[in-house]
Amino acid sequence: MGSEHRVGGKVITFGENVNTDVIIPGRYLVSIDPAELAEHAFEPLGPETQARLRASDVVVAGRNFGCGSAREQAATCLIGAGITAVVAASFSRVFFRNAINTGLIAVESPAAAEAAADGDEMWIDYDAGTVETGGQTFPFSPYPPVLQEIMADGGLIPHLMASFSAGGSR
């Protein structure tokens, strides 16, 4: 503990192959505002799920979370809904990239995803590479250095801007 990269809180769980059209329907992609997008996150699953999402901090899911489209808003809308991390058995590759690039923590840990239920607490420390839930600690392999740098700056665009102001070449 004591790591500045420890985030977490209340869990909301989803099943396998949760696709981007369910996370954020295509009709709302005319916006890139996290708060506006958050209003429509998981809309196909109904208002009860949406209310629970907004009261949660960590999304926990099965295999292939975020499969489907390359829409970056699938990550942005979760951030807008107050989600700080997604822990899944596995991710679709574009969702994983979009999560890192928007500063949303995405951790692949089948064991941790299996261990948590709706309403549980879960804490993720991505410096230490651990997920804690229900009194158990699950290790995961830390991000490679390139991705760590992007995450530390809060996403790809802030990272680029930081590199420019640090005397970058452009």
Partner 1 sequence: MTGQTFAQKAIERASGTTGLVPGQIVDAYPDLYMSHTASWRCIRTLEKMGVDRLYDVDRVAMVMDHLSPAMNAKTAGHHALCREFAQKMGVKHFFDVNSGIAHIVLMEHGLVRPGQFIIGTDSHSTIYGALGAFGTGVGFSEITAAWVTGKLWIKVPESVRIVIDGELAPGVYAKDVMLKLIGDLGADGLTYDSVEFTGSYVAGMSVSERMTFCNLAMEMGAKNAYVAPDDATLAYLDEAGVPRDELEVLLPDADATYRSTVHLDGPTLAPQIAVPHTVDNVVGVDDVAGTKLDQVFIGSCANAKYDDLVIAAEVLAGHQVAPGLRLIVTPASATIMARAAENGVLTTLIQAGAMITNPGCGACAGAGGAMTDGETTLSTANRNFQGRMGSYDSKIFLSSPATAAASAIRGVITDPREIVAEVVV
Q: Which residues bind partner 1 (CB under 8 A)?
A: 17, 19-22, 25-27, 29-30, 32, 43-44, 63-64, 67-72, 75, 90-94, 97-98, 101-102, 144, 146-147, 155-157, 160-161, 164, 170
Q: Please, what is the minimum distance in Å from the beta carbon of residue 101 to partner 1?
A: 5
Q: Please, what is the minimum distance in Å from the beta carbon of residue 136 to partner 1?
A: 25
75 versus 132: smaller Cβ distance to partner 1: 75
Q: Please, what is the minimum distance in Å from the beta carbon of residue 168 to partner 1?
A: 9
74 versus 132: smaller Cβ distance to partner 1: 74
Q: Are 73 and 37 in contact (CB under 8 A)?
A: yes
d(CA 82, CA 80): 5
Give every CB contact of residue 47 below 8 A, 6+ residues apart in sequence.
Answer: none
Q: Are 109 and 83 in contact (CB under 8 A)?
A: no
5 versus 93: smaller Cβ distance to partner 1: 93
- 167 sits in the region (left: phi over 0; alpha: psi -120 to 50; else beta) called left
Q: How many CA atoms lie within 13 A of 40 on its CB side?
A: 19
Describe the chain by its helix, strand, coil percentages, rounded to 5.
40, 20, 40
Return the structure tokens found at 106: 């995405």
Q: Please, what is the minimum distance in Å from the beta carbon of residue 163 to partner 1?
A: 9
8 versus 14: smaller Cβ distance to partner 1: 14
Q: Please, what is the minimum distance in Å from the beta carbon of residue 149 to partner 1?
A: 10
126 versus 133: smaller Cβ distance to partner 1: 126
